[in-house]
Structure 1
Amino acid sequence: MADATLGFSGVSVGYHGSPVLTDIELNVHAGQRLTLVGPNGAGKSTLIRSVLGLVPVLHGSATVLGRPPAQARSVTGYVPQTGSLDAAFPVSARQVVMMGRYRRIGWWRPARAADRAAVREALERVGLADKAQRQFGVLSGGQRQRVLLARAIAAEPRLLLLDEPFNGVDAVSQEAILRVLHDLSAAGTTVVLSTHDLAVAREFSDLVCLLNGRQWALGTPAEALTASALRRAYGGHAVDVDDGRTVLVEP
């Protein structure tokens, strides 16, 4: 586990000494794609925030790129849910992406040619180079999410975390995001995303972590997304397995 991008052993995380998630065991390596799956309130966002060092580890051992989580934040990219941002803030798509370079630029220093080039390349990768000067808030939900992905890419992270990146996102943007994530992982970036979409989890992931207050399963999609594991994690909701696809029918 020493060379793992994410190494969590017997980990519980939570707030004010009260665990939100327990029994977390992760061993994720460079270039792997891990998807966190579980119902609303399962702890997916809490786990992502613990990887960023924003939620304390109450028990167990947690390392990110061989360091305590907070110490790896400078080489970790984060794409939040778009609903957590103020779309009315008067800033262009290009300016949002440039924020991903701030750690490299430093406070009160002008952007260099290399920073501007990184921003252009990031916008090109997500298919929004032509929207660079548009105000962030007037873009569609899917376009805003792609801008946030470009911001993370511009930082050149070794680990990329995405919290429900497909909520409110159109099919074109979802396809564009998934294509970029595949390219990043092929180049060695470890990608961790949370989603409610079991089809995405099956098709995208090298590993799936099934959560709901604890870790219920971890493995390949075929190993983790079984009918029995999903019934346990989702509290006994009906599960139907059809042609190899698992579908949850929630009340």
Structure 2
Amino acid sequence: MTDPRTPAGRTVLVLGGTTEGRAAAAALSAQAGIRVVSSLAGAVRSPRLPDGEVRIGGFGGADGLAGYLRAEGVTAVLDATHPFAAGMTANAAAACAATGIPLVVLRRPGWTPGPGDRWHRVASVADAATALGPLLPGPDGRVLLTTGRGGLAAFAGVDARFVVRAVDPPPPPLPARHTLLLARGPFDLAAERDLFAEIDPHVLVTKDSGGDATAPKLTVARERGIPVVVVDRPPLPRGVTGVGTVADAVAALGL
């Protein structure tokens, strides 16, 4: 139900789970008369909770989300999910179109290569697995895999030694030869240098998640002359545009 303390039923649903989502929830909660509800997917155990109300779990697709928006009297939706949460963004776009509720999509800018970077951009995690072959010296090649806990089955058939870094244990199947490194960013430059020195990877594989929290690994790869396979982020749904900062997102909501 709509909170009676919020004038004109100003309720903002923040689709969060990211640093930007928490920052946006904090900025909105600081404004008088706005009820903020952050929705987290529940994919990460012990998530960092934002300011305001929090719900955890899915909606049941676009139709379920549309029903939630109507039932809760939501007046605007801020999609601050991970750049690779394409399914949630598609559902948000469809639900907002069906209900006539404004949608603002917040996407941190993607990474761009600089001088000395040896990047190989690919369209998917599966393509990243295929791209590894020419970049490895052979079966004893070492890969630092930082694409998260999902989609690792694509690497199960790659004959190499993997260090898989993720926040929570990933589901099988996993690469046959792997070491699991459970860690939550941000990762500073000194820590990344220590990690690279310890495992001495031949290749780094990552997603173009953008932002500063996990960017130092790219700096270390450049310093060490290591090739990086970068999975491009999926495009936004047709007709949907994004903003790049929390301030721009809050302004775009027009509250």
Scaled by the length of structure 1, what TM-score is found? 0.28
Q: Return the index of the structure with the highest Cα Rg.
A: 2
Larger fraction in strand:
1
Scaled by the length of structure 2, what TM-score is found? 0.28
